[in-house]
Structure 1
Amino acid sequence: MRNPYSTRVFLSAAAIGAAGGVLAIALNWVFIAINTTPLATLLIVAVFGVWVLPGMLSQVLFKAPGIGLFTLLVAALVNAPFTPYGVAQIWSTVIFGVILELPFAVTLYRFGSRRMFWIAHPLSQLLVIPFYVVGFDLAAFAWWVLGVFAVLTLASAAFFTWLAQFLAGRLQAAGVARPRRTPSVPPPAPAPPAVEG
């Protein structure tokens, strides 16, 4: 069985995580500025996939157990020093990384076809709903806000699942996840026949 881990895989996953962490820095500051409005809650739900997209992308590309969690940890380490959330950003991102790995861990990491990602990735995003309910006090909102919240959660999960697979396809075409081929060594030439003296 092929070992899915290599230095190249970890470096590529770390680069994806770092890029995602930089993107999340800007989003964190935007949401801090508008965090007191119901609109902010709906926007966070709509773009939540941005925070977990690096992990989803690494899972599609490398199909290695734990690689999604590793990628999100890198994203959090890049993100945390530049947002007011600080260390809390790391812990919350690690929790999301564990949730992202759960559907695959249940199947003992039988990644299989892309269909598995269409099941696991939306499911992992839907598992975050309890954090929304508690963190944003959704029970205090009007009924229509809850309805929009449910629709946005499903739409966001589907969109970012598609986006992860789209970006993975582009990166695979560019050779990011292509395994390196070991150069073939030609067999040694046969020894010349001994000359009888």
Structure 2
Amino acid sequence: MRNISTRLLIACAAIGVAGGVLFTAHAWVGGLTVNTIPFLYGVTMGIYFLPGALAQALFHRGGVALLTAALSGLVASPFQPIGFMAFVIGLVIGVAQELPFLVTRYRIWKPWLFIVAGLLHGLITMGAAFGILGGHDYTLAGQILVVAAFFISPPVFTVLALWLARALDRAGVARGLRSDEQDRRRSSKPDLTT
């Protein structure tokens, strides 16, 4: 993250704190539903991808998903049944969210890349959840329901993040914080060195 400003850090921290509150609520509600209605837990699992995707869609900068997701996990850690593991999970999710954009060297911020990333995250979440929840013990209908719920959740919450980012951008939250805006401003200034 080059050219990071205090304002960008504060914006990421605000999203991270809000994400931490959501993570905590999800952990307690999810703890009640994971063993009784696992597909409901799966449908809401994508909430962990919301803060990082929101920061990426809003600021178009490398590293903001990692920072925001890690902060969300850190804020949630004291209030979660899994404690500090919430921070570790936030870090892992942040890294996973950075990878598709890192591959493009943080030059592509199109909605389709967010959707592709969300689908990849859905595959990872689905596989992990199937193993952790013992999906092989469910009936075929149960397996299909759980797999579908965990697969579709990250892309759905990524689309929600894109929608929220558009709304926040219209409100002026990202003004002056996007890396592509700074690049555009630099290229439009006349070169006075010659």
Q: TM-score, normalised by structure 2?
A: 0.83
Bigger share in helix: 2
Counterpart of 2:143 in structure 1 is: 146
Larger-gyration structure (1/2): 1
| Aligned position for 1:35 | 34
Aligned runs of 1:91-170 on 2, under 5 Å? 91-170=88-167
Distance 1:138 1:7 in 2: 45
Number of aligned pairs? Answer: 177
CA contact (8 A) 2:19 2:51 kept: yes
Residue 175 of structure 1: how far off its partner (Å): 0.7
Q: Which residue of 2 aligns with 1:187?
A: none
SS of the equivalent of 1:47 reads helix
What stretches of structure 2 of length at least 5 have no aligned partner?
A: 182-194
Describe the shift of the 1:33–1:59 C-alpha distance in structure 2 as closer, same or farther (beyond 3 A): same
Superposed, 1:1-197 pairs within 5 Å as: 5-37=4-36, 39=37, 41-179=38-176
- 1:124 and 1:36 map into 2 onto residues whose CA distance is 23
Give every structure 1 segment of 4 or more consecutive aligned residues whose post-TM-superposition deviation is greater than 4 Å: none
Contact 2:50 2:161 in 1 (8 A): yes
What percentage of aligned pairs have identical amino acids? 34
Q: For residue 135 of structure 2, what is the amino acid of its counterpart?
A: L
- More displaced, 132-141 or 73-82? 132-141
Deviations 1:70-122, CA, capped at 9 Å, x for gaps: 10111111101011110111112211221111211222222242222222233
Tell me: CA distance 1:78–1:65, structure 2 relative to 1, closer, same or farther (3 Å): same
Identify the residue that residue 191 of structure 2 maps to in structure 1.
none
> What TM-score does the superposition give when structure 1 sets the normalisation length?
0.82
